[in-house]
Amino acid sequence: MVRTSKHRGSNRPRQARRSHTSYDKSAAEAIVISKRSAAPVSEGTLRVIPIGGCEEVGRNMTLIEYGTDIIIIDMGLQWPEEDMPGIDYIIPNSEYLQGKEKNIRGVIITHGHYDHIGAIPHLAPKLGNPIIYGTPLTLGIIAKRQEDFKTGQLNLQAVDRDTVLRLGVFTVKFFGVSHNIPDSVGVIVETPYGKLVHTGDFKLDPNYSGDRPAEIDKIQKLGDGSVLALMADSTNASQPGRQLTEGEIQGNIDQIISDAPGRTIIGTFSSLLGRIQQIIWAAEKQNKKIVIEGYSMKRNVELAQALGYMKTKRDSIIDIKNIGDYPPNRIIVLCTGAQGEDNAVLMRIANKEHRVLKIEKGDTVVFSSSVIPGNERSVQRLKDSLYRLGAEVIHYQMMDVHAGGHAKQEDLYDTIQMVKPKYHIPVYGNHSFLRLHAKVALRAGIPEKNIFVPDNGQIMEFTSRGGHLTKHKVPSDYVFVDGLGVGDVSHVVLRDRQMMAEDGMIVIIATLNGKTGRLINSPDIISRGFIYMREQKKLVEQIRAKVKGLIGDHPPKAQANDSYLKDKIRNELGQFLYHKTQRRPMILPVVIEV
């Protein structure tokens, strides 16, 4: 199974639905449209449909449809939740687009994080391999990832901040935004009814930090009254105030690296190329050497260097085999694993499993990323292990060493004030984040009836008479990726995995005479994760006696039914075990006739 660390989803889909007159209507009013019953878009109707990203962090994908023209913004994955054992990640449901593949004029990717590009290897082939537009770094990351999947060549076309695309009835333009990966853009889609503005992931930071500054002037020019709707990032809408600038973070990183008495080991996301650049700058100021550990981080840094997005001196980055050539206080190790992932570099160091790096007295370990919801326990265990080995640990709650790449409430307020949209659509975040973003829009002067808080799959329609959030939905349920399987794991399978994880399982093997239907031997019992049979011999014998009694009550062979017998064992033995243990293991009866 593939496990990677970036923006893990932490929220189960919410059930609330909204109508266009108010955004607190009942969920019961939503009508799901299947691919078979979905009517074509009415003539003169513009549809906006978030397939994912509006009930969770991740799985971002938005459709814009007019007549027979469709464009897609982003195609990302969502990281599994704690109650999804074995799942690698979740991708958007493309069912609505089946039969409409020829209408797709292009896929626009806002930036290179996996929650915006991670579904491309799975969905692009299914959708007829449409042209994927993105900035050079974004396309480079997409192409590198595609090599791991071998699902065919992608149709990639590079754009920049000044590119203008004609995609069917739509004209698409771009504006540069600040995020924690270079080459991030927002998207302007000119439609028959005005401009749709999609921010992608963004924050308001006008300063240079390894990438060109955000194009605030372009954002301001949008406020001339021609913006039909603003779709804006809600990831940090729950947080008041303004996001830290990268310049403020740079000063803190400089101080940490300067004060460290020995080696500095910094864990972060492999895709946070802006942060990696800042660490390299800080090291170079103090004549320190950088070791980069972690396959994905090495690959991303090499790509960014090749494309000119990362500037380093010729001898700043050294190979790990040369680490002993320098005193400890001149070494900085940049590595993956700040989320406590099992096989990442930082965890292998903490577990004394890394081939070269061992924690030494005087080492300072820095967690330069916030903790993804659901990872708190694994991150805490990692910190405990590092402290136990003698390291000093610094994380973002102790010192500002991680500026999020997402706008907070006052930044969102300023963006709305600059763009002056007729309609406001919060996207990208849990439902509560979208609601809080809606309150910001209300404070910024957007009428309540013009603020749409959609669920995944919910259709928004615009005509010459105005826009509304409909009661109709397209399929947007989870599509699970598990190993090489895509969509072959259902909620039923997950429920079974959860049961086995919570209370274990017990297998009952009964061998019956094929003629009489009677037991030939005493039933065999196998327990996994339920009881340790050697220490629970009394309970094992009670289970065996119970099964014998159930089979003894079985009707004669002429009336026998294996399904009936299995259900009887499963139900009555389940009640018996719950009475004895207050646990509900999964019970798998196996009936063999000989």
Per residue in 193-227, pLDDT (tens digit) is 999 999 999 888 766 555 677 888 899 999 887 89
Which pLDDT does position 209 carry in this prediction? 55
Which pLDDT does position 62 carry in this prediction? 96
Looking at the DSSP bridge assignments, the partners of residue 366 are 266, 394
Residues 108 and 175: beta-carbon distance below 8 Å? no
Which pLDDT does position 332 carry in this prediction? 92
Cβ count near 563 (within 10 Å): 8
Give residue 55's identity as a one-letter amino acid code.
E
Which pLDDT does position 381 carry in this prediction? 84
Looking at the DSSP bridge assignments, the partners of residue 461 are 47, 468
Q: Helix, strand, or coil here: 276?
A: helix
Give residue 497's identity as a one-letter amino acid code.
R
pLDDT over 50 at 117, yes or no: yes
276 compared with 441, residue with greater pLDDT: 441
Instruction: Kindly state the DSSP code that residue 530 receives in the 8-state scheme.
Output: S
DSSP state string for 545-577 = HHHHHHHHTSPPGGG--HHHHHHHHHHHHHHHH
pLDDT over 70 at 16, yes or no: no
Label each residue of 81-94 as H, E or C.
CCCCCCCCEEECCC
Residue 76 buriedness (CB in 10 A; 0-12 / 13-18 / 19+): buried
CA proximity to 91, closest of 123, 54, 66 = 123
Which pLDDT does position 534 carry in this prediction? 79
Residues 482 and 87: beta-carbon distance below 8 Å? yes
Mean pLDDT taken over the chain: 82
119 compared with 244, residue with greater pLDDT: 119
- CA distances to 186, 254, 393, 404 from 281, in Å: 27, 9, 22, 19
Per residue in 287-300, pLDDT (tens digit) is 999 999 988 889 88
- HSE value, Cβ hemisphere, 13 Å, CA-based, for 53: 30
Residue 581's pLDDT band (cuts 50, 70, 90): confident
Residue 26 buriedness (CB in 10 A; 0-12 / 13-18 / 19+): exposed
Q: What whole-number distance in Å separates Cα of residue 469 and Cα of residue 54?
A: 14
Which pLDDT does position 57 carry in this prediction? 85
Place of tokens 């009694």: 549
- CA distances to 45, 120, 299, 477 from 486, in Å: 33, 13, 26, 13
Q: What whole-number distance in Å separates Cα of residue 555 and Cα of residue 565?
A: 9
Order of strands across the sheet that contains 89-91:
89-91, 479-482, 485-486
- CA distances to 541, 544, 585 from 523, in Å: 10, 6, 18
CA proximity to 200, closest of 168, 240, 232, 176 = 232
Backbone angles phi, psi at 232, to 5 degrees: -125, 145
Residue 31's pLDDT band (cuts 50, 70, 90): low
Give residue 456's identity as a one-letter amino acid code.
N
Least confident of 27-36, 198-207, 251-260: 27-36
Residues 249 and 402: beta-carbon distance below 8 Å? yes
Which pLDDT does position 17 carry in this prediction? 31
Which pLDDT does position 5 carry in this prediction? 35
The predicted model gives 561-568 an average pLDDT of: 78
pLDDT over 90 at 9, yes or no: no
Which pLDDT does position 182 carry in this prediction? 85
Residue 585 corresponds to which tokens in the numbers above? 């293991």
Per residue in 304-359, pLDDT (tens digit) is 888 888 888 888 899 998 998 999 889 999 988 777 777 788 888 888 888 888 88
Instruction: Kindly state the DSSP code that residue 124 receives in the 8-state scheme.
Output: H
Per residue in 407-444, pLDDT (tens digit) is 899 999 999 999 999 999 999 988 999 999 999 999 99
The predicted model gives 67-86 an average pLDDT of: 83
Least confident of 174-183, 363-372, 471-480: 363-372
342 compared with 255, residue with greater pLDDT: 255
Dihedral (CA of 136, 137, 139, 143) sign: positive
Which pLDDT does position 196 carry in this prediction? 96
Q: What whole-number distance in Å separates Cα of residue 363 and Cα of residue 377?
A: 23
Dihedral (CA of 299, 302, 308, 311) sign: positive
Q: Where in 67-181 does DSSP place strands (E)? A: 69-73, 89-91, 104-108, 132-134, 156-158, 165-167, 170-176
Cβ count near 223 (within 10 Å): 14
User: pTM of the full predicted structure?
Assistant: 0.76
Strands 104-108 and 586-593: unpaired
Q: What whole-number distance in Å separates Cα of residue 226 and Cα of residue 94?
A: 31
Which pLDDT does position 85 carry in this prediction? 59
Q: 140 Cβ partners below 8 Å, 6+ apart?
A: 112, 303, 306, 307
Per residue in 517-561, pLDDT (tens digit) is 778 888 888 888 777 777 788 888 888 888 888 887 655 543 456
The predicted model gives 485-511 an average pLDDT of: 68
Instruction: Kindly state the DSSP code that residue 589 receives in the 8-state scheme.
Output: E
Which pLDDT does position 383 carry in this prediction? 85
Q: What whole-number distance in Å separates Cα of residue 306 and Cα of residue 308?
A: 6
Q: N- to C-terminal Cα distance for the chain?
A: 39
